[in-house]
A and B are shown apart, each in its own frame.
Chain A
Amino acid sequence: MSESGATEPEEDAGRRIAIDARERVRFEEEALGLADQVYRVARRMVGTREEAEELVQDTYARAFRSWKSFTPGTNMRAWLLRILTNLNTDRGRKIQRTPDQQPLEESDYYLANRLAAVEGEQALEQEQVVERLSQGGVVNALAELPHDFRDVVVLVDLGEFSYADAAQILDIPIGTVMSRLHRGRRILKKTLAEESLT
């Protein structure tokens, strides 16, 4: 450190503060730009719109407080979702318990087979055959998934996160992501078949 001018360290400090302030604003703007995508994932992880709004607000409050722990250039959407799922798990552990008995899933082709049995094998060729299932049915079937499965299905199939990102967000091994995803999708399809095709 130079001893020649007493003002130099002060100038350095001033510059640092200005740079910090700019980086902080940039961080906040990038984070806000992702809010709709974050909300879409949050909405399916909780039961109501109000809960989702609250969860997203809590997430942003925490993100804005700890903005310095974000490494620029890394995946901010994944970073925000990591905060969000941690907050959700904290809430979830208080009010929601994983059922002791997990629902049994059928095979991967189950829903297609059921549809073919009801509508005929040819129906599977139709462009819009999935619209035979109601949109509300999809939302309900997701809501009924046990939350460990639901979190993974929502992150990968709605949020379009990779297995690796989902593993990091949920702090679980990638193999667990894959097995929960595969089982979760099967349970989802079974529920959809039961709700939409009876």
Chain B
Amino acid sequence: MSDADCEKCEELLQGYLDRDLKPEEVAVAEGHLNGCQYCRRRYRFEAQLRRYIRTSASERMPAGLMAKLSELRGGTADGL
């Protein structure tokens, strides 16, 4: 594995995680990841990090907001 291969893998990895690579790029990324522990560790880390960012930054709607939003409705379910 050359450094150039790892650099190429690093370049492809975000698109790979986003499932946004062309099939031939997927083959390059997966071929490299299979044989390179250094990049495989970083791939796993990036996948974990994505999930962690999503859960850490996700905050539920405050209690009470739904009632305020419902008051903004113009339509009415009555009489239908």
User: How big is the A interface, by class?
Assistant: 35 or more
A residues 137-190 near B (Cβ < 8 Å) are: 138-139, 142, 154, 156-158, 160, 163, 182, 185, 188-189
* Chain A residues with CB below 8 A from B52, complex form: 130-131, 133, 138
B residues 26-46 near A (Cβ < 8 Å) are: 41-42, 44-46
A116 to B77, CA, bound (A): 58
Residues of A at under 8 Å CB distance from B? 18, 21-22, 24-25, 27-28, 32, 35-36, 39-40, 43-44, 49, 53, 56-57, 60-61, 64-65, 67, 107-109, 111-113, 115-116, 121, 124-125, 127, 129-131, 133, 135, 138-139, 142, 154, 156-158, 160, 163, 182, 185, 188-189
Residues of B at under 8 Å CB distance from A? 10-11, 13-14, 18, 20, 41-42, 44-46, 48-54, 56-62, 65-66, 68-70, 72-77, 80
What would 12 more interface pairs be, CB under 8 Å, given A24-B74, A125-B41? Answer: A25-B77, A36-B60, A56-B65, A64-B72, A112-B42, A115-B45, A121-B41, A138-B52, A138-B57, A156-B18, A158-B58, A160-B54
